[in-house]
């Protein structure tokens, strides 16, 4: 089944050069430490098959491969994958892929969906299609790891407005919660190029209970963590909701 993405916010925002400017200072050391801690917990056998789903420019994928996994990184953004492909080697490959589309069958020992790369869609069916595609792509009894924001704390601590200037580009950001969706409106002022543009980021405020419903009869949640140090999850105080789930045989 083909899915149209022309009108969806992430189709334009993730391929925009301003997206990469705004998030250029993401903490790569934090990402490396998180993946290495996660792999210490999972203890994957050498050369296990892993899919980094919504991999961006490949920062997590690279660390996985450096720690002995055979990794495929997949992302909707052609711009991100173009950058990520510079990292490719024998144990690391990248491709453009919409996570809702079924592509693999019993291929992977581990599938990772990291840094709040779920819940972008407006329809319940789109989320369910993604979960079904992940379930199909995993080998029996294999693992799905999802790293999501903690919606409860995010909403409680939401900063309504902020402004920053990066590489001469000014970003004005407005944040709100509307009908169960956390919305970030991004206004870009690039005076050098004479451009003023606006974008949105939208993510559903999904809780652990929501993921339990999505996983019903497909995955068993084995562990939850609340931050990148892999401390226990607390729904009121944790920064993240990190779920380790195992594929059911049914």
**CATH code, 238:** 3.40.50.150
Per DSSP bridges, beta strands 70-75 and 92-96 are parallel
The two structure tokens encoding residue 92: 């690391």
- To the nearest whole percent, how much of the chain has pLDDT over 90? 82
The pLDDT confidence band at residue 27, using thresholds 50, 70 and 90, is low
Decide: 52 and 64 in contact? Cβ < 8 Å.
yes
Q: What mean pLDDT, rounded, does the chain reach?
A: 92
Residue at 82 is within a domain? yes
Give me the pLDDT at residue 7, please. Answer: 54
CA angle 144, 91, 65 (to 5 degrees): 55
- Specify whether 48 is located in the same domain as 69: yes
- Specify whether 177 is located in the same domain as 80: no
- Specify whether 115 is located in the same domain as 141: yes
Residue at 196 is within a domain? yes
- Specify whether 37 is located in the same domain as 134: yes
Tally DSSP H helices, then E strands, for the chain: 8, 11
Give me the pLDDT at residue 237, please. Answer: 97
Q: Is the pLDDT of residue 6 over 70?
A: no
- Specify whether 91 is located in the same domain as 73: yes
Structural domain including 107 reads 9-150+206-247
- Specify whether 146 is located in the same domain as 160: no
- Specify whether 198 is located in the same domain as 210: no
- Specify whether 123 is located in the same domain as 168: no
Residue at 1 is within a domain? no
Residue at 176 is within a domain? yes
- Specify whether 100 is located in the same domain as 75: yes
- Specify whether 173 is located in the same domain as 67: no
**35-45, pLDDT tens digit by residue?**
999 999 999 99
Domain count, the chain: 2
The two structure tokens encoding residue 21: 């400017």
- Specify whether 174 is located in the same domain as 189: yes
Largest Cα span, the chain? 57
Residue at 235 is within a domain? yes
């Amino acid at each position: 089944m083909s899915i149209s993405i022309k009108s969806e916010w992430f189709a334009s925002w993730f391929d925009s050069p301003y997206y990469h400017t705004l998030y250029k200072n993401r903490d790569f050391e934090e990402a490396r430490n998180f993946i290495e801690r996660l792999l210490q917990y999972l203890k994957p056998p050498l050369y296990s098959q892993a899919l980094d789903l919504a991999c961006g420019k490949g920062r997590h994928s690279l660390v996985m491969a450096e720690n002995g996994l055979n990794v495929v990184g997949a992302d909707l953004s052609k711009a991100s994958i173009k950058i990520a492909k510079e990292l490719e080697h024998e144990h690391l490959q990248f491709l453009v892929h919409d996570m809702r589309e079924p592509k693999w069958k019993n291929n992977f020992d581990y599938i990772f969906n990291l840094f709040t790369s779920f819940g972008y869609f407006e329809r319940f069916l789109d989320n369910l299609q993604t979960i079904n595609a992940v379930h199909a792509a995993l080998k029996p009894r294999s693992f799905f790891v999802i790293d999501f924001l903690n919606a409860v704390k995010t909403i409680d601590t939401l900063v309504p407005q902020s402004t920053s200037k990066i590489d001469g580009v000014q970003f004005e950001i407005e944040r709100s919660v509307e009908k169960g969706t956390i919305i970030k409106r991004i206004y870009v002022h690039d005076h050098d190029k004479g451009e003023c543009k606006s974008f949105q980021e939208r993510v559903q405020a999904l809780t652990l209970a929501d993921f339990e419903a999505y996983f019903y009869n497909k995955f068993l949640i084995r562990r939850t963590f609340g931050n990148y140090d892999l401390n226990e999850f607390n729904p009121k105080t944790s920064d993240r909701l990190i779920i380790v789930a195992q594929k059911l045989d049914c």
